[in-house]
Structure 1
Amino acid sequence: MIFAPLLVVPLAALLSAGLILLLKPLLQRYALARPNARSSHRVPTPQGGGIAIIAAALLTVVVLAAPTGSALGGVELPVLALSVIVLAAIGAVDDIRPLPASLRLVIQAGAVAAVVLTAEGRLFPDVPLGLERAVAILAGLWFVNLVNFMDGLDWMTLAEFVPPLAFLFALGLAGRYAPEPTLVAGALLGGLLGFAPFNRPVARLFMGDVGSLPVGLIVAWLLFRLAGEGGLASALILPLYPLADATLTLLWRLRRGDPVWQAHRSHYYQVATVNGFSVPSVVGSVFAVQVALAGLAGATLLWPSPAVTLACLVVAAGLVGWLLRRFTTPRTAST
């Protein structure tokens, strides 16, 4: 391991929490999210906590990797860091004064393309490299946006991505994942954990686009690297709940002819709150499913046979389908 593994998560968590305490008065003054018809909150709440998450993660990576220089010697991590900063900057502006959707999409596509084109590993060696990269850019662009779409309840992003990040970090500690993405996974995990107390329902601080967009890019890169190291099935299973919720919601809105670029409250996890589920119940259910998916992802790596992989994919799809169905079913007074 090229860094001190036991320091990664606590260092990033402490940096994240400390930066939030320093920045919160400014966010309270300049980045206040006021409730509207699509909001899940009822009182004005500062947003922009993602600044601390991303800054803590980047600082942790630099501090722990720079002494050896081995993790930063190539272009992959510097390009990732620069792309993350670009998305964070665009998200920060959009949090304060909304930008045109077309401008946001172009900048996001550029950031994703830079990361994909410099990433190591191949997913399908028999497929032309240009085609593989083009598909990866489209998938990465969708993933960045779906993470943003799925950040609509207190603790939701943590429930979705703390289990996969913890899994990837543990995988790296076991020597089954490259050192660079292991470091990044641990740093982002710590940043999210440092943010968690401030976003606990009822949240005193929101992540904002300044956090959700770069978080989506980092997680997409981590999954791409996992798939490139032979863990394609695992990379598909780990984010399956947010991937399914966002994708099915998009397809349903397209079918109805809704303007898909506009904000809304029709995701499954949002419908759940209308159907009588409390916010802790929703995020707790998502967290539990994501933990189970991490276990299934691990099984595909421990027993890499086609039969085990297929079984894990089927169970994962069934588990996510069950949760989505549960969220669309109104709760009765007795439950």
Structure 2
Amino acid sequence: MAPIAASPMPLLAWSCAQVALAAAGTCLARRYALRRRLLDHPGERRSHRVATPRGGGVAIVACLLVTALALSWWYPGERMLLLAGGAGLLLVAAVGWIDDHRALSAGLRLAMHAVAGLLLGAAVLHAGHGPLLAASGVLATLVLVNVWNFMDGIDGLAASQGAIAAIGYGVLASAGPEGGAAVVLAFSLGAACLGFLPFNFPRAAIFLGDVGSGALGLALAWLLVLLAPRLEQGPAHWALLLLPLSAFLVDAALTLGTRMLRREAWWRPHVQHAYQCWARRIGRHPPVTLAYAAWSGAAVLTMLATRGLDARYIIAAAAAWCLAGGWAWAILRAGASPPGKEQAHE
């Protein structure tokens, strides 16, 4: 059987099937969460006012695992990377699923995330790539799994950002001479997020939960590892690939850095991210989610437009983009009311 990435129509059919699978899985996950009373309750460190089921991200995990198994058959040359990424995804999702049911320690969660990253890094070395890419895969796993967990705080934000980045990576991979498994994995992730989003935006009927937010971060790190060797632009390819993630990376890095400087317990839940401050000030989530989506959509277009440029211009464009994001972060945080004065709803 020929790989579905070889022709647009089979890829479109596969993506539509992933949308339907994710939507059906989210319905089942919501019924399960309601039956088990698996709810996120409002509180001082949360941005919603209504008790809401969590764990809907398990549907996205199911879609990606099906895709990984299919791709390991279609692309035997990339089988180790695909199976290692799938195993890491399953590990991160399992830890998140348990944590959604009963709280686990931050140290244990981080240790499991590290194991998932090491699996991906080992597969990179086994595939014949250098230690730099392997180390980058481990680091990307640790960073993105936790960034997506930190930034999953208002309706539709984490899933929409995952969808935009994934679709952007799919288009980028399709533009190359041979996108391989990365094309299918990217569009599958985007499709799964789109199948979940109607249940999470504009008003959430279910949240991703740790099972979903962690899985999104792992899947994006997995895509980065698959895509980086195809760009052939040296260190500049990382600047290029990080553009679609810039909204989350800038917000998370500056917010957590500020908390560290204040000697606060930065790993604990809080409502100090720029998106939380903005949502709290206006009392609504959809405008914030849509604004972040517009930023990331523009970042994807920038990534695609600058791909063929000299490495110096790519790095300069990425640096300017992140500086603009930092400026926007400062404005949003400066104009926000203190936590507790206003509470947005989900």
TM over 0.5: yes
Q: Give the structure 2 partner of residue 279 of structure 1.
A: 285
Return the letter of the residue paired with 1:156: L
Structure 1: state its 5+ residue gaps.
none
Distance 1:272 1:322 in 2: 14
* Two-structure CA RMSD over aligned residues (Å): 2.3
Distance 1:331 1:151, change over 3 A: closer
Structure 2: state its 5+ residue gaps.
5-9, 232-236, 338-346
Q: Give the structure 2 partner of residue 186 of structure 1.
A: 187
SS at match of 1:275: helix
Distance 1:134 1:179 in 2: 22
Distance 1:157 1:177 in 2: 29
The size of the alignment, in residue pairs, is: 323
For 1:299-318, list aligned pairs within 5 A: 299-301=305-307, 303-318=308-323
Q: Give the structure 1 partner of residue 85 of structure 2.
A: 80
Contact kept, 8 Å, 1:162 with 1:189, in 2: the verdict is: yes
Contact kept, 8 Å, 2:118 with 2:138, in 1: the verdict is: yes
Q: Give the structure 2 partner of residue 267 of structure 1.
A: 273
Deviation at 1:171, TM superposition (A): 2.3
Distance 2:178 2:243 in 1: 16
Q: Give the structure 1 partner of residue 213 of structure 2.
A: 212
Q: Give the structure 2 partner of residue 223 of structure 1.
A: 224
Work out whether 1:93 is the aligned partner of 2:98: yes
Contact kept, 8 Å, 1:50 with 1:212, in 2: the verdict is: yes
Q: Give the structure 2 partner of residue 157 of structure 1.
A: 158
Return the letter of the residue paired with 2:63: A
Contact kept, 8 Å, 1:2 with 1:71, in 2: the verdict is: no
Contact kept, 8 Å, 2:61 with 2:215, in 1: the verdict is: yes
The normalised TM-score by structure 2 is 0.86
1:102-124 Cα deviation digits (max 9, x unpaired): 111111100111112212575xx
1:6-31 Cα deviation digits (max 9, x unpaired): 22321111000011222321111222
Work out whether 1:50 is the aligned partner of 2:57: yes
Distance 2:264 2:195 in 1: 37
Distance 1:211 1:146, change over 3 A: same
1:296-316 Cα deviation digits (max 9, x unpaired): 111221x32134314422431
Distance 1:138 1:60 in 2: 24
1:137-178 Cα deviation digits (max 9, x unpaired): 234212210111011111111332222211111223333563
Deviation at 1:215, TM superposition (A): 1.0
Return the letter of the residue paired with 2:81: E
Distance 1:199 1:288 in 2: 18
Return the letter of the residue paired with 1:226: L
Contact kept, 8 Å, 1:233 with 1:297, in 2: the verdict is: no
Distance 1:235 1:178, change over 3 A: same
Identity of aligned residues (%): 31
Q: 4+ residue runs of structure 1 moved beyond 6 angstroms?
A: none
Distance 1:328 1:73, change over 3 A: closer
